[in-house]
């Protein structure tokens, strides 16, 4: 079941590797089919380029395996809590991007030093540290990502969400870009942070950005 959606997970997992947003088996991706309450998630410990359709795990957000012989990603709780408690998300990407992870290692949030961070929210918080794969980490990440589509994971990486994998990947790309320019600017001086009023304006403008539906 859901072969099209499973292929999307494989394709975007490969894209993470091809565009140097993670290495080896670092990171995981999922989709949520809300109509059937089914979470599709990449398997644990298999390199992205080696994942096949049959390796994608179908499960409930409570952890029950519905289809597949592989172990789901060790971070499945971090995905499940988002789908269980947020109605606006149906796709999650977790990766170990360089610049966003550098901020996470510093345990610093990403402020609005560049307006494009508005794709994720008015800023991006850094979740409190917890060991990977734990319920504690899932809880910390959920809390820090409130009202946002991205969160930094202390000493770990980044997680983004969206209405599709393409949406979540776009947030990941913009977050990585904004993290990079913020760190470069910080090395030369003190970045100027945009006001909350202007970021609220950006959020409104982004809703009508792009090609209008016909």
How does pLDDT run across 6-32, given as a tens digit for each residue?
Answer: 999 999 999 999 999 999 888 999 999
Q: List active site positions.
A: 75
Q: Which residues of 96-114 are buried (b: 16+ CB within 10 A; e: fewer)?
A: bbebbbebbeeebebbbbb
Instruction: Provide the greatest CA pair distance for the chain.
Output: 53
Write down the pLDDT at residue 166. 97
Distance CA 2, CA 129 (A): 34
Contact residues for 14 (Cβ-Cβ < 8 A; gap 6+): 48, 49
Write down the pLDDT at residue 3. 96
Write down the pLDDT at residue 203. 84
Write down the pLDDT at residue 211. 58
The three-state DSSP-derived secondary structure of 95-112 is ECCHHHHHHHHHCCCECC
Stretches where the chain sits below pLDDT 50 are 214
Bridge partners (DSSP) of residue 126 are 152
Write down the pLDDT at residue 24. 86
């Amino acid at each position: 079941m859901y072969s099209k959606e499973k292929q999307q997970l494989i394709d975007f997992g490969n894209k993470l590797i091809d565009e140097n947003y993670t290495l080896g088996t670092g990171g995981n991706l999922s989709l949520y089919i809300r109509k059937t309450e089914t979470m599709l998630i990449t398997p644990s410990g298999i390199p992205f380029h080696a994942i096949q359709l049959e390796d994608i795990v179908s499960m409930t957000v409570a952890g029950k395996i519905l289809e597949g012989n592989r172990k789901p990603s060790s971070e499945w709780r971090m995905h499940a809590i988002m789908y269980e408690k947020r109605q606006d998300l149906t796709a999650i990407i977790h990766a170990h991007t360089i610049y966003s992870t550098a901020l996470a290692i510093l345990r610093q949030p990403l402020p609005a030093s560049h307006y494009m961070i508005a794709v994720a929210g008015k800023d991006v918080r850094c979740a409190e540290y917890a060991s990977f794969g734990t319920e504690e980490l899932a809880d910390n990440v959920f809390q820090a990502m409130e009202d946002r589509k991205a969160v930094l994971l202390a000493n770990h990486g980044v997680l983004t969400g969206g209405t599709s994998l393409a949406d979540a990947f776009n947030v990941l790309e913009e977050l990585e870009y904004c993290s990079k320019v913020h760190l470069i600017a910080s090395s030369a001086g003190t970045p100027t942070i945009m006001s909350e009023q202007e970021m609220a304006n950006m959020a409104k403008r982004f809703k009508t950005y792009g090609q209008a539906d016909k």
